[in-house]
Amino acid sequence: MEQRVYHGRISPEDVAQALLDEWDQGDTMAQAFGDEGRIIVQIGQRSAGWFSDEPRQALTLGIEPLADGVQVTMGQQQWYKNGGIQFIGGGLIGLFPFFFAFPLGQLFGGEDDIDQRLPARVWQSIERATGNSGAATGATRRLATIPCPSCGVANAQGAERCSACGASLTTPSACSNCGHTNPPGANFCNRCGVQLH
């Protein structure tokens, strides 16, 4: 996960609209949704398929207003399928869906992996959009994360559930038989083999 701050006369809506205009075409899809104060933009690569070309994973950006600009947090999430939520279209912002909770996941490998060049290209789009509004790039920082034992997505330190798959991130108690502490998500003790759940 990465977070950048942009100082100047720019709003989350301005950044979101610029991303939709640039990325919702060709071999990529983009969607946005939000509430007063936070907009989520997802950018995914179209996948050829029999029933749908919607991506399974997406680069997900949380865009929040600051007193003097915006803060953008980038990570990877599952592509959100519309379940009655209104998306940004023509400058209109709908409701913020309940499923999305910060922190965003980090990019990870696997069959649903997105193009590793995409994050840099999206940051360039944001730099252009903010630069056109006279905003200056401020601090950039990497956020401390913990990997999900089920899907590998990184979540912020202290998170109890994975932001991508919902699996528990809390450390399990020691094995009742031998006292060994096993990794989160383990069903059997790594030392003695006793079933943990």
98, exposed or middle or buried, with CB in 10 Å at 0-12, 13-18, 19+?
exposed
Quote the tokens at residue 89.
């279209």
Query: What is the pTM assigned to this prediction?
Result: 0.65
**Most distant pair of Cα atoms in the chain: their distance:** 63
Most confident of 65-69, 107-111, 134-138: 65-69
Question: In this predicted model, what pLDDT tens digit does every residue of 11-60 receive, in sequence order?
Answer: 999 999 999 999 998 888 999 988 767 899 999 888 765 456 777 778 88
Q: How far apart are CA 103 and CA 142, in angstroms?
A: 12
Question: In this predicted model, what pLDDT tens digit does every residue of 63-72 receive, in sequence order?
Answer: 999 999 999 9
Q: How far apart are CA 61 and CA 71, in angstroms?
A: 10
Q: Three-state DSSP class for 13?
A: helix
